[in-house]
């Protein structure tokens, strides 16, 4: 997946997250961000990466979003890998 496609997917997850009254406060609480921060920083790759990493903490969240968006759940992981800092780590 290319970075621009990953960013678009992360923005879709953000929209889904904002519409989830139970999960949004958990995300905001875990990041220390406010709703204004989300609006102002939505295009920053660092925030988009954080959104993807947050959702990937729970398979149920990934599957719920993927089903809602009619995408392959593995696309969430592929999107994270396409954004800065998401590359595979090679220890050799």
Domain ranges of the chain: 3-82
Record the pTM: 0.86
Q: What is the structure's pLDDT at 18?
A: 92
Q: Tens-digit pLDDT profile for the chain (92 aa)?
A: 898 999 999 999 999 999 999 999 999 999 899 989 888 998 888 899 999 999 999 999 999 999 999 999 999 999 999 987 766 554 55
- Phi-psi group of 75: left, alpha or beta (phi > 0 → left; psi -120 to 50 → alpha; rest → beta): alpha
pLDDT at res. 42: 87
> To the nearest 10°, the Cα dihedral for 72, 58, 56, 62?
20
Q: Is the separation of the CB atoms in 3 and 82 below 8 Å?
A: yes
């Amino acid at each position: 997946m290319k970075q621009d496609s990953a960013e678009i997917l992360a923005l879709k997850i953000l929209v889904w997250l904002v519409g989830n009254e139970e999960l949004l406060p958990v995300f905001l609480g875990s990041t220390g961000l406010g709703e204004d921060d989300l609006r102002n920083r939505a295009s920053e790759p660092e925030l988009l990466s954080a959104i993807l990493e947050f959702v990937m903490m729970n398979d149920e969240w990934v599957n719920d979003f993927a089903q809602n968006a009619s995408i392959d759940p593995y696309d969430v992981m592929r999107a994270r890998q396409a954004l800065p800092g998401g590359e595979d780590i090679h220890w050799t």
